[in-house]
């Protein structure tokens, strides 16, 4: 169990009722802002997918999905989603969405292998979104324009929230700063990836780190990313590799970098073959999702996930994600939080 409890912590909203009202305000406002910025249609999403299809998100490849047999399907195994990274691309193909438009959904997942702390719960709720793009949009400039639109949606939400809850004073800078994971390594060679994030986000307050998942010059990777959705290996116009990344904000309550979104331009057939080979996962090419992508049956897309509880936690200045969502926590964590004035749901 890892836990950080800020000194003299105070719930700025006063109590549970005001917190619940503010959570609803954030969720209502942000999804409207996001859909307007990116031209997204809301769709309904599954909580489960069939095992063995390649549709579920493998995350870092070691996390176990919650799996169970389905009696009406001759006991065929299904599993609770980790995220909808690949399902969304299939849905866009099914709907025939044109380039420049996309979909978003409320994604609810279970990740029982998470290490529980201030930011991580076994229950994950996020806005999963995906947008059809043209082949010529698979470049760094397009990625950055999309990141800026998402960041603008966050800023508009922060400012509107301030009107309703004036104790929540806006803290985000006007612009988001871009840097590649390799540049971070060169700038802070003696720090760990998380320490590098803290250093750069402490300075710029809002940062997008490019190239998450790709191999760096020292042979390491900045952070894990599956081989079959984000493109972390295609050379880009900055002279590095990768068309994906993470949005990080400086959290003044936790005094650390705070990830709210993982996103990126998705793999085309060439990039997926290359990345599966690098990870030694070529056998996945025979799975349903992968066969369709390699056959050219799925559109080129950009997409990602934006944590709902994470965004609420940041904007409402909360110290623990358990102040936003109901989940399961170790009793020692509950007791320590309660003693520090952090009340977990």
Averages of pLDDT over each 10 residues, the chain, 345 residues: 88 91 97 97 94 82 87 94 91 97 95 92 95 98 98 98 96 98 98 98 98 96 94 96 98 96 98 97 95 97 97 97 94 94 90
- Taking the C-alpha atoms of residue 111 and residue 109, their distance in angstroms, rounded to an integer, is 7
pLDDT at 212: 97
**Catalytic residue status for 259:** yes
Q: Are 212 and 193 in contact (CB under 8 A)?
A: no
**Catalytic residue status for 83:** no
Catalytic residue among 31, 35, 121, 126: 126
pLDDT at 55: 87
**Catalytic residue status for 51:** no
Q: How far is CA 10 from the centre of its chain?
A: 27
Dump pLDDT digits (tens) for 178-202.
999 999 999 999 999 999 999 999 9
Superfamily the domain 16-339 falls into? Bira Bifunctional Protein; Domain 2 (3.30.930.10)
| Domain map (residue ranges) of the chain | 16-339
Q: Quick one: CA torsion of 248, 251, 256, 259, rounded to 10 degrees?
A: -30
Catalytic residue among 79, 130, 197, 259: 259
* DSSP output for 164-200: H-TTS-----SS-EEEEHHHHHHHSTTS-HHHHHHHH
**Catalytic residue status for 237:** no
Dump pLDDT digits (tens) for 95-134.
999 999 999 999 999 988 889 999 999 999 999 999 999 9
**Catalytic residue status for 111:** yes
pLDDT at 79: 93
Q: Are 84 and 57 in contact (CB under 8 A)?
A: yes
Catalytic residue among 31, 35, 83, 262: 262
Give the total residue count for the chain: 345
Catalytic residue among 35, 57, 233, 310: 57
**Catalytic residue status for 256:** no
């Amino acid at each position: 169990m890892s836990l950080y409890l800020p000194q003299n912590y105070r719930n700025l909203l006063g109590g549970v009722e005001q917190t619940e009202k503010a959570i609803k305000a954030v969720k209502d406002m942000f999804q409207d802002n996001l859909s307007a910025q990116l031209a997204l249609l809301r769709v309904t999403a599954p909580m489960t997918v069939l095992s063995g299809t390649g549709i579920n998100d493998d995350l870092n490849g070691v996390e176990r999905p919650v799996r169970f047999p389905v009696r009406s399907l001759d006991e065929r195994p299904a599993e609770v989603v980790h995220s909808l990274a690949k399902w969304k691309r299939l849905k866009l193909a099914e709907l025939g969405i044109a380039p420049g438009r996309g979909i978003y959904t409320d994604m609810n997942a279970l990740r029982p292998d998470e290490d529980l702390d201030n930011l991580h719960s076994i229950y994950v709720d996020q806005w999963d979104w995906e947008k059809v793009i043209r082949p010529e949009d698979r470049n760094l400039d397009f990625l950055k324009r999309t990141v800026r639109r998402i960041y603008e949606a966050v800023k508009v939400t922060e400012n509107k929230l301030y009107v309703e809850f004036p104790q929540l004073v806006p803290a985000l800078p006007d612009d988001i700063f871009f840097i590649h994971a390799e540049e971070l390594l060169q700038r802070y060679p003696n720090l760990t990836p998380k320490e590098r994030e803290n250093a750069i986000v402490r300075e710029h307050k809002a940062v997008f780190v490019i190239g998450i998942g790709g191999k760096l010059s020292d042979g390491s990777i900045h952070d894990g990313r599956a081989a079959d959705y984000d493109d972390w290996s295609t050379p880009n116009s900055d002279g590095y590799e990768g068309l994906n990344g993470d949005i990080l904000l400086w959290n003044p309550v936790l005094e650390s970098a705070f990830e709210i979104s993982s996103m990126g331009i998705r793999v085309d057939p060439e990039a997926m073959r290359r990345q599966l080979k690098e990870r030694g996962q070529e056998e996945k090419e025979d799975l349903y999702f992968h066969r369709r992508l390699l056959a050219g049956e799925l559109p080129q897309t950009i997409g990602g996930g934006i944590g709902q509880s994470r965004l609420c936690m940041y904007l409402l200045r909360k110290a623990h994600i358990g102040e936003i969502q109901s989940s399961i926590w170790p009793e020692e964590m509950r007791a320590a939080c309660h003693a520090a004035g952090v009340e977990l749901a």
